[in-house]
Amino acid sequence: MAFLNFVQASLPIVAFLIPLIMAMVQYLGKLGISGKRQLLASMASGLVLGVMALIAELGLPPDFAYWFGYIVVGLVCGLSASGVYEAVRHASEKGANAALDAE
């Protein structure tokens, strides 16, 4: 039953944090941070924000298994956000290149 509560608490957090992290990474890009540093910032932001959000929702983890779960959720947030960000960036670059080729 505890695992079900954990999953029910983490799914809305992940769904909320992914667009937030993507927006933060895009903002960092406008500040001049690019490439691998942007990806690292995405993963680190997801890890920190994911763990903090779960602590706010469920409280401090009582044991290692919960800490591990919190960290995994944070990594899922950060890595998912960076993956989606990279996919959108790659697709927009391909679209821009295709439009230039059509001219």
**Rounded average pLDDT over 90-101:** 72
- The pTM (predicted TM-score) of the whole model is 0.76
Check whether 103 has a pLDDT greater than 70: no
Which parts of 1-103 fold into alpha helices (H)? 2-30, 36-58, 64-102
Check whether 31 has a pLDDT greater than 90: yes
7-11, 59-63, 77-81, 87-91: which has the minimum mean pLDDT? 87-91
Token pair 């298994």 is at which residue? 65
Beta-carbon neighbour count of residue 42 at 10 Å?
A: 27
Tens-digit pLDDT profile for residues 12-29: 888 888 889 888 888 988
CA 13 to chain centre: 11
Check whether 98 has a pLDDT greater than 70: no
Beta-carbon neighbour count of residue 22 at 10 Å?
A: 20
CA 77 – CA 87 distance, rounded (Å)? 15
Structural element, H or E, at residue 45:
helix 36-58
Write the single-letter amino acid at 97: N
